[in-house]
Amino acid sequence: MTSESAELDGWIDAFGHHYLLRVQYEDTDLGGIVYHANYLKFAERARSACLRLCGIFQENLITADGGHAFVVRRAEIDFAKPAGLGAVLCVTSRVVKSSRLTVKMEQTIKNQETGHILAGVVVDIVYVRIDGVGQASPVRMPASLLDKLLAGQG
């Protein structure tokens, strides 16, 4: 991984993985407020960046050995405050529970400038084998993959 990609993917410390982004015009409604579904997109981008920093490259998983992927089985979101156009947000992600089949992550989306919590997201992620077009079935992830993920949690 190049230093440029590490810069794009955020950083990991004792509190978890941190990912910065700026709210763009396309993220907002007519009033300049972030559309509610986009918080889930922000959380997804942060999870993908977290995996990359842990040495887990989803693009390689999908094409290797018939294909594997992490998919969201369940997501829960709690909205606290709105974000507006131009705001810098920080998504902090941390694994709170894991097994070789599922990973539960908590993610907090904050306004980086004010420190206000905007939303909290809890996701259950399942490791699956891609069986064909649109078909996937849960499988146990290799222990080495889970070890990489947990080692990258600060």
- End-to-end Cα, the chain, rounded Å: 18
* 48 CB-contact burial (10 Å; exposed 0-12 / middle 13-18 / buried 19+): middle
Distances (CA, A) of 74 to 40, 61, 91, 116, 118: 12, 21, 19, 25, 20
29 is catalytic: yes
Q: Which of 9, 27, 29, 131 is catalytic?
A: 29
- Residues labelled as active-site residues: 29
